[in-house]
Structure 1
Amino acid sequence: MTISSPSPRPARRSRIGLRGLALTAAAVLPLALGVATAPAAMAAPAAPAAPSGWARVAHLSPDTKSVDVQMTALAGGAVVYELDDVSYGAVSDYIPLAEGTYVVSMVPSDATDDSEPVVQQSVEVSAGEPITVAAYGRNAELKTTVFDDDLSAPAEGQARVRVVQASTLEPRVDVDTAEGRSIAQAVTSGSATGYAAVPAGSWNLELSGADETASSAVALPAGSVSTIFVLDDAAGALTARTVTDSATLADMPTGGIHTGGGGTAVQSAAPAGLIGGVVALLGGLVATMVVLRRRSSKGTA
């Protein structure tokens, strides 16, 4: 009995090659054009983290000379921030800081390196919570305090404002507008009021205590959050300095935490040179597939 030879079959290598090339083309095209497939999106780098918290320093002692300020991390003792020659009435910008405990030290600007600080205050920085560290009062009885700040945006067309009473001339101060609108009443030395919403614009303020009365003009832009610091002027009278707090917190996220290059981020369009290279690559793949298909067809003839 003669055993007949089986009919020639198409080479499996050709079939596998065709299928592999097709899969390669399907995979290369979206990746080369920058289309985010699910695995690519998951592998994209995460957005940079926002600062954990913020702190700033205010020099509110009228007879304390200019000071140098150091902010030191309690864990490890590293100096994380320094300010030189901070004068009376100065309020620094907010400093972005990791969550933790810090020590704020102030020494006279002309002091020697081994001088004892005139102010040393431990502060806690918490995630998402700005604070103000203030030195106030007369130099002989210098005090420090920490104010919790709230930079939530006001309603449209309005501003949010509070008062910090740091004058040494009056133990209590009232703040009203010249038009008779009350901003704050009986604010005690070293304290801060809550924030009040007021119509945005320029205001003439009346500052009054038991013995002293003064006027001060302030500007409260729409959408701003501000602090009015009640201080002593060079002539020994009440005065006010307004700091727009929301303008000194450059790293504060707006509109939620920023999204980066991953997840739902929109991919940018591919450059023209890249697209040309992809077209050439696909052309080569197609040509190879045609050759393999012809060889496959000859094998079955």
Structure 2
Amino acid sequence: MIHNRSSMRRALRTATASAVIVGLSFALAPVAASAADAGTGWLRLGHLSPDTKSVDVEVTTPDGATVLELNGVSYGEVSPYSELQVGTYTVSMVPAESSAATAPVISAEIEVPATSATTVVAYGPSTDLEVKAVDDDLAAPTAGLGRVRLFQASTITDSVDVETSTGLPIAKDAAAGTVTDYAEIPAGSWTLELTGGKGDATSDVDVAAGSVSTLFVLDTADGGLTILPIVDSAAVGDSPLGGVQTGGGGTAPRDFFSTIGGRGEGTGAFE
């Protein structure tokens, strides 16, 4: 069982409005474990609702046993992967520091498949908050390339286009709440150009050879857009030394969360 509330709280870093990600390197995101035995899978959690205040997140089994707790999760934070037994779980979110009797503001059942990685996020405006589970394909890219995909989580535009400054397309008309397929691009430093609605943005990212990454499109504090790169797996096939090195259960030797953005504390339903 993974259950260490105090150590996760100490390790949590809160995103601030000044923590805009433009220029953030893939290398700063957590390294994902890609190998689990036949009875386990990988799960990570994220808060992508810009006007929702910090939340406490709980993952429980059908009989109510808690297997994972994350406290004070702010907008623009994504946890590393945690290894869980295969099965059905309920992910519940309540306002941060709520009492144990507080009813969840939102909850959803999710599946953790065997030897697979899953990302579960809360996204959308606080008045229409949704939970989305996404399968993460950690298969190795072709030698010398990296694999990237786009998660369109912005609430201020219906769709976005992303391409490199050299004209290589990453995503076209990506609708809000959707996730594109992974695409392979040559390893190296890239400038990505984002267009959507009234907002345009650029982001410089480093794509490491052999890496698998997700580009999250989020809102910024000034009403713009930003691209937030998070590594799904920096070395596919290599398990972290000593087990789940960057996972839950108090085993993380570094900051537990990868801070990915932009607007800090929300002002919506969790006030």
Match of 1:194 among 150, 163, 181: 181
1:134 aligns with 2:137: no
User: In 1, are the aligned partners of 2:210 and 2:236 still within 8 Å (CA)?
Assistant: no
**CA displacement, residues 181-205 of structure 1 (integer Å, 9 cap, x when unaligned):** 1101011111100000000112111
> Match for 2:132 among 139, 145, 148?
145
Match of 1:107 in 2: 94
Deviation per CA, 1:89-146: give whole Å up to 9, x if none: 1111111111110001111113232222122010011111211111111101111111
Larger strand proportion of the pair? 2
CA spacing shift, 1:243–1:232, aligned 2, 3 Å:
same
Quote the Cα distance in structure 1 between the aligned partners of 2:236 and 2:40: 13
Paired residue type of 2:203: S
* Change over 3 Å in CA distance of 1:234–1:210 after alignment to 2: closer
Q: Which amino acid aligns with 2:53?
A: K
Task: Give the structure, 1 or 2, with the largest relative contact order (CA under 8 Å, sep 6 or more).
Answer: 2
Summarize the Cα distance change of 1:100–1:252 in structure 2 as closer, same or farther, 3 Å threshold: farther
2:49 pairs with 1:61: yes
Query: CA–CA distance in 2 between the matches of 1:251 and 1:64?
Result: 36
Q: Compute the displacement of 1:252 (Å).
A: 4.8
SS at match of 2:215: strand
One-letter amino acid of the counterpart of residue 149, structure 2: R
2:125 counterpart letter in structure 1: R
SS in 2 for 1:140: helix
Matched, 1:211 2:175: no
Deviations 1:211-267 (A, max 9, x none): 22111122211110000000001111000110011149998599xxxxxxxxxxxxx
State the partner residue of 2:162: 175
Aligned length: 206
- Residues 50 and 253 in structure 1, CA contact (< 8 A), matched pair in contact too: no
User: What aligned pairs does 1:77-116 form with structure 2 within 5 A after superposition?
Assistant: 77-116=64-103
1: CA distance, partners of 2:232 / 2:185: 16
Residues 250/233 of structure 1: CA separation in 2 closer, same or farther (3 Å cut): farther
- Once the two structures are superposed, residues 255-294 of structure 1 have per-residue CA deviations (whole angstroms, 9 ceiling, x without a partner) of xxxxxxxxxxxxxxxxxxxxxxxxxxxxxxxxxxxxxxxx
- Confirm or deny that 1:239 pairs with 2:226: yes
Q: 2:119 corresponds to which letter in structure 1?
A: T
237 and 65 in structure 1: CA distance in 2 versus 1, 3 angstrom threshold: same
Q: Pick the aligned partner of 1:71 from 48, 52, 59.
A: 59
Q: CA RMSD in A?
A: 2.2
Q: Please, which runs of 5 or more residues in structure 1 have no aligned partner? A: 1-47, 255-301
The structure carrying a bigger helix percent of its residues is: 1
**TM-score if structure 2 supplies the norm length?**
0.72
Report the CA distance shift for 1:160/1:250 in structure 2 as closer, same or farther (over 3 A).
Answer: closer
Letter in 1 for 2:193: E
- Tell me what 1:297 maps to: none
**Out of 181, 192, 212, which is 1:225 matched to?**
212
CA–CA distance in structure 1, aligned partners of residues 105 and 185 of structure 2: 37
Question: 1:14-33, aligned counterparts within 5 Å?
Answer: none
Distance 1:198 1:251 in 2: 21
- The percent of aligned pairs where both chains have the same amino acid is 51
The structure-2 alpha-carbon separation of the partners of 1:251 and 1:158, relative to structure 1 and needing over 3 Å to count, comes to: closer
